[in-house]
Amino acid sequence: MQTGNQLDAMIASVQVLKQFQDLGIDNADALNRLKLVIDKVQEHNRLEGHTDSVSSVSVSPTENLIVSGSHDKTVKLWKLDGTLVKTMRHDAAVYSVNFSPDGQYIVSGGGDKKVKLWTKDGTFLDSVTEEKNIYFVNFSPDNKIISTGEDSTVRLWEYNSSKIIQKPYKTILGNGKYRVWSAEFSHNNSCKNIVTAGDDGNIRIFTKDSTSVVTLRGHIAAATYASFGLNNKTVISSSYDSTIRMWQENDNKTWSNVKTEKANNPYQVKFSPDYKTIAATSIDGNIQLWKSNQLSQQYLIGRHRDKITALSFSNDSKWIVTASRDQILRIWSLDSPSENTSQTNTTNLLKKGCSWLSDYLNNNDKAHQKYVDIRHICENTKKYKI
């Protein structure tokens, strides 16, 4: 099974199982082989609707909602089942989107030099316009919006339920001639520190009043993303030098690079919300994961047909959404296959395959039209008793 065609493999398995059923075939070896294919599928759904590279994705921390931003100048709001809720617009490519920590707001930024604030249902609230492109936007837990711009600065705005409070906004970091690609807050209510990744390869930690804490040096190409780990004593970073680095704070308040892992030109790396998994994007379309928060036990769960540009975990850490230059968002299950103690037979496997495919077949317009026969098979499968 090719990792980039997992849903296609599931569909093919359902077709074969239907043939077995029609012909009365009950071959244990063949059924066990099909069961192995079905159990290995982790791709759960595809969100298709963007007409250009998808550059950013964020999963709501409170609901089954996903927001995506694309070079097609749109921000799209989706349900987890693949239903498109709303399309919002910028005047140029959208480079970054994020949900607020309480799930009530969405922020977006892009090539039109605007930071836009929306409600969770896609209602436009307000915007601010900068002089340069906006490459990264996010929220802090204490109700502020942070952004990075083409002019190598990190800026901070306050916001409330109706607008971005435009003045006074604060420039909290000027990075000289080097662009800042990401800026993330520490994970405490006081939002004491911010970590940034820059074009010069350096990871910088500073307080939100712009006092420098430490500069972490080690990457030999542009650093593309950095974020804090559990208890804010760890930072993970990605770089175009094809490495992911883990940094830890020592007892004497200095920081050290404690682990370096090779990765395929990662653009983004993140901890899962439970801090038990690390995931990174890649230039070849593979989703790179490590089962340990210490960057060990690397494995792949699937791939896109083009570069993966962004990823976002669900709040329960059980699934992940990836965005790609192939214009598609894919949803992947991170749960291990459950032990099925029931007998392996055609009906059981058909039911399992159809249940897995339900969202994709019913809510993806392309799949809905292309796989009419599979939908009919699955509708009839609902009538079978195990």
For residue range 238-267, list pLDDT tens digits in order. 999 999 999 999 998 899 999 999 998 899
In a domain, 362, yes or no: yes
353 and 230, same structural domain?
Answer: no
Query: What one-character-per-residue DSSP string does 205-236 give?
Result: EEETTS-EEEEE---SS-EEEEEE-GGGSEEE
Indicate if 85 and 136 belong to the same structural domain.
Answer: yes
346: containing domain: 3-42+339-381
For 103-147, what is each residue's pLDDT tens digit?
999 999 999 999 999 999 999 999 999 989 999 999 988 778 999
Q: What is the mean pLDDT of residues 42-69?
A: 97
29 lies in the same domain as 130: no
321, pLDDT greater than 70: yes
Q: Is 311 domain-assigned?
A: yes
Specify whether 48 is located in the same domain as 37: no
Choosing from 333, 350, 370, the residue where a domain stops is 333
Asked if the structure places residue 386 within a domain, the reply is no
Is 122 contained in some domain? Answer: yes
| Within a domain: 88 | yes
Burial 277-304 (b: 16+ CB within 10 A, else e): bbbbbbbebbbbbbeebebeebeebbbb
* 202 domain-assigned: yes
Distance CA 76, CA 373 (A): 29
Residues 124 and 137 in one domain: yes
Residues 212 and 93 in one domain: yes
The CATH number of the domain holding residue 312 is 2.130.10.10
Task: Looking at the structure, tell me whether residues 112 and 224 fall in a common domain.
Answer: yes
Residue 147 and residue 8 share a domain: no
Q: Is the pTM of this model over 0.95?
A: no
92 and 71 share one domain: yes
Number of domains the chain contains:
2
End-of-domain residue from the set 333, 348, 369: 333
Residue-level pLDDT at 386: 47
When pLDDT is averaged across residues 169-179 and rounded to a whole number, the result is 74
pLDDT of residue 342: 57
Does 280 fall in a domain?
yes
156/243 same-domain check: yes
Residues 249 and 367 in one domain: no
Bond into 168 cis (ω within 30): yes
**Residue 193 sits in the same domain as residue 251:** yes
Tokens representing 23? 């012909």
